[in-house]
């Protein structure tokens, strides 16, 4: 039997239970990645921006090399989307597809398309910290409010799966596969902005699994985790927060691997509020994944998961371009938007401030803001992005019905010496 292993947000060999399962299924295993469809958003820009594509290409390049070292290779169909996978499966006579399960609607529709073409699909949930089988409730009963979710999760000690080692061998790809289908990079990386807090164009910050593992080890060998809670809200700085998100987003790193390294750090250097808080933030990531599973397409509507379509949700599109291009006239907001566009990364605090500004000060459309983040972010993750935007807009899971950040107060508190504003005063 020939099995197609479809890498989605799990572009790694280690701690990839779905890949291991696929390897045990057939005599032939064809590792593939889907080709992206070039797409224009309704807001007038391309859906996938250069930073995101560049970082993803690094992840894929690392994956291709790792597969080659096992005598395999990475393939990519010529046709974009699920149609390409279906064609490739037909070409090599594969009847089975194995992949990680993702709960967002588009990702679910891709699975349906494969099944509709007669393929047998095994989608294995493996991207959250806490596997569905270890939750104290059914995924569809996930509490909407994060604090309640966390309370229920923390009633018993959190025990994610023990990370798996990379497979030592993999079944060979079918001999009939056309060599022209081998994955090759076709993006020209965006030049490095020296001000970047995540310089993904340089050696230690690249998107591949090896760089992710090196960063994980370096971060937890250092003193940074011991102070994370005090530094995480700073506006820029390389180690003020963990910087795991880009590697999590491309799947070069798993949440279970982070948890395991965190516990080893605590055993060696001691546990404190800060080390606890790293795990706490990873629970937010899990919560947004489960909320996406529960509400699906509702999270992509103007009114989000709320029932009513109140006046508050009648956004204006005026001003969006000024916000997007960092030309609002508010120095902190413009600084943040420049950093985002120039580097593909933005601290959590700045994400909250600029999102709130678009929604609550400019009365802009939160879906447009979410789409611009999708274009820019090297750590774009549909669950976290849509969930956070909806939360700030008051159409998601915030029990206080939305978060408004006073930008002047934020500037005083988080940028008292104007260092950040001065750093990003120019595009
Ligand atoms: C409007 C908005 C959009 C966002 N879009 C994304 C996105 O597309 N992808 C993404 O990964 N994160 C997103 N976030 C969450 C958060 O800003 C980033 O995860 C974080 O800044 C990444 O940097 P870090 O890895 O150093 O985070 P750390 O502070 O070190 O946190 C550790 C990990 O916890 C998780 N985490 C932390 N905060 C959040 C949060 N609020 N929601 C979900 N997970 C969290 C991430 O996996 C992160 O890597 C968004 C936040 C906002 C306010």
In 3D space, the residue among 183, 154, 162 whose CA is nearest the CA of residue 65 turns out to be: 183
Identical topology for domains 1-126 and 301-423: no
User: What is the distance between the alpha carbons of residues 13 and 61, in angstroms, rounded to a whole number?
Assistant: 13
User: What is the distance between the alpha carbons of residues 49 and 20, in angstroms, rounded to a whole number?
Assistant: 32
pLDDT, average across residues 383-401: 92
Mutate to test the pocket of ligand 1, among 225, 261, 384 (most ligand atoms within 8 A of CB): 384
Q: Which CATH class is domain 301-423?
A: mainly alpha
Residues 87 and 79 sit within 8 Å (Cβ to Cβ): yes
CA of residue 384 to ligand 1 center, whole Å = 7
How much is the pLDDT for 342? 97
What DSSP letter does each residue of 355-414 carry, written as one string?
A: HHIIIIIS---HHHHHHHHHHH-TT--HHHHHHHHHHHHTSSS-TTS-----HHHHHHHH
In 3D space, the residue among 297, 263, 360, 251 whose CA is nearest the CA of residue 109 turns out to be: 297
Helix residue ranges per DSSP H, 135-254: 146-153, 209-221, 224-231, 245-250
- Pocket around ligand 1: residues whose beta carbon is below 6 Å from it? 232, 241-245, 248-249, 278, 281-282, 284-285, 288, 347-348, 351-352, 355, 373, 377, 379-381, 384-385, 388-389, 392
Per-residue pLDDT tens digits for 324-356: 999 999 999 999 999 999 999 999 999 999 999
Ligand 1 atom nearest 287 alpha carbon:
43
In 3D space, the residue among 131, 30, 124 whose CA is nearest the CA of residue 85 turns out to be: 30
Per-residue pLDDT tens digits for 32-57: 999 999 999 999 999 999 999 999 99
User: What is the distance between the alpha carbons of residues 209 and 427, in angstroms, rounded to a whole number?
Assistant: 31
pLDDT, average across residues 13-17: 98
How much is the pLDDT for 314? 60
User: What is the distance between the alpha carbons of residues 104 and 126, in angstroms, rounded to a whole number?
Assistant: 14
**Dihedral in degrees, nearest 10, Cα atoms 361, 363, 365, 371:** -20
Ligand 1 atom nearest 242 alpha carbon:
30
Rg (CA), the chain: 21
Domain ranges for the chain, please list them: 1-126, 128-160+209-300, 301-423
Mutate to test the pocket of ligand 1, among 388, 390, 403, 410 (most ligand atoms within 8 A of CB): 388
Mutate to test the pocket of ligand 1, among 52, 158, 281 (most ligand atoms within 8 A of CB): 281
Per-residue pLDDT tens digits for 174-192: 999 988 899 998 887 789 9
CA of residue 29 to ligand 1 center, whole Å = 34
How much is the pLDDT for 309? 58
User: What is the distance between the alpha carbons of residues 5 and 94, in angstroms, rounded to a whole number?
Assistant: 10
Domain 128-160+209-300 belongs to what architecture? Alpha Horseshoe (1.25)
Predicted TM-score (pTM) of the model is 0.97
pLDDT, average across residues 226-248: 96
Residues across the chain: 427
Q: Which residue has the tokens 């997007």?
A: 324
Per-residue pLDDT tens digits for 272-323: 999 999 999 999 999 999 999 999 999 999 999 988 655 455 666 779 999 9
CATH of 1-126, one of 3.30.360.10, 3.40.50.620, 1.25.40.10, 1.20.1260.10: 3.40.50.620
Ligand 1, atom 46, residue with closest C-alpha: 245
Ligand 1, atom 5, residue with closest C-alpha: 385
Ligand 1 atom nearest 377 alpha carbon:
8
The overall average pLDDT reported for the chain is 95
Ligand 1, atom 23, residue with closest C-alpha: 243
CA of residue 246 to ligand 1 center, whole Å = 9
């Amino acid at each position: 039997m020939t099995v197609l292993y479809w890498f989605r947000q799990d572009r790694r060999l280690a701690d990839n239970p779905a890949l291991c399962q696929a390897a045990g299924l057939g005599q032939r295993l064809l590792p593939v990645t889907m080709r992206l469809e070039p797409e224009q958003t309704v807001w007038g820009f391309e859906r996938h921006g250069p930073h995101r594509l560049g970082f993803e290409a690094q992840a894929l390049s690392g994956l291709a090399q790792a597969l080659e070292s096992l005598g395999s290779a990475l393939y990519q169909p010529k046709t974009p989307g699920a149609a390409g996978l279906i064609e490739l499966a037909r070409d090599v006579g594969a009847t089975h597809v194995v992949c990680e399960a993702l709960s967002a609607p588009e990702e679910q529709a891709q699975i349906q398309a494969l099944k509709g073409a007669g393929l047998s699909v095994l989608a294995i949930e493996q991207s959250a910290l806490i596997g569905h089988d270890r939750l104290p409730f059914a995924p569809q009963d996930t509490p909407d409010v994060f604090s309640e979710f966390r309370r229920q999760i923390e009633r018993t000690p959190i025990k994610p799966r023990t990370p798996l080692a990379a497979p030592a061998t993999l079944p060979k790809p079918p001999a009939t596969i056309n060599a022209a289908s081998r994955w090759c990079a076709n993006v020209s990386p965006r030049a490095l902005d020296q001000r970047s807090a995540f310089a993904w164009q340089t050696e230690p910050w690249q998107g591949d699994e090896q760089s992710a593992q090196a960063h994980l080890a370096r971060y937890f060998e250092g003193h940074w985790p011991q102070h994370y809670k005090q530094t995480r809200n700073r506006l820029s700085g390389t180690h003020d927060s963990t910087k795991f998100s880009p590697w999590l987003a491309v799947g070069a790193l798993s949440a279970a691997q982070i948890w395991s390294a965190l516990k080893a750090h605590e055993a060696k250097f001691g546990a404190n509020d800060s080390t606890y808080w790293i795990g706490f933030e990873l629970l937010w990531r899990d919560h947004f994944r489960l909320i996406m599973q529960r509400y699906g397409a509702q999270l992509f509507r103007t009114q989000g998961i709320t029932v009513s379509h109140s006046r508050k949700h009648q956004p204006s599109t005026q001003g969006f371009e000024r916000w997007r291009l960092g030309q609002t006239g508010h120095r902190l907001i413009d600084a943040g938007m420049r950093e985002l566009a120039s580097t593909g990364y933005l601290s959590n605090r700045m994400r909250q401030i600029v999102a709130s500004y678009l929604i609550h000060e400019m009365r802009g459309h939160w879906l447009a803001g979410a789409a611009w983040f999708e274009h820019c972010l090297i750590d774009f993750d549909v669950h976290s992005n849509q969930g956070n935007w909806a939360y700030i807009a008051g159409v998601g899971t915030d029990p206080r019905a939305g978060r408004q950040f006073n930008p002047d107060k934020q500037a005083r508190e988080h940028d008292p010496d104007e260092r950040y504003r001065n750093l990003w005063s120019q595009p």
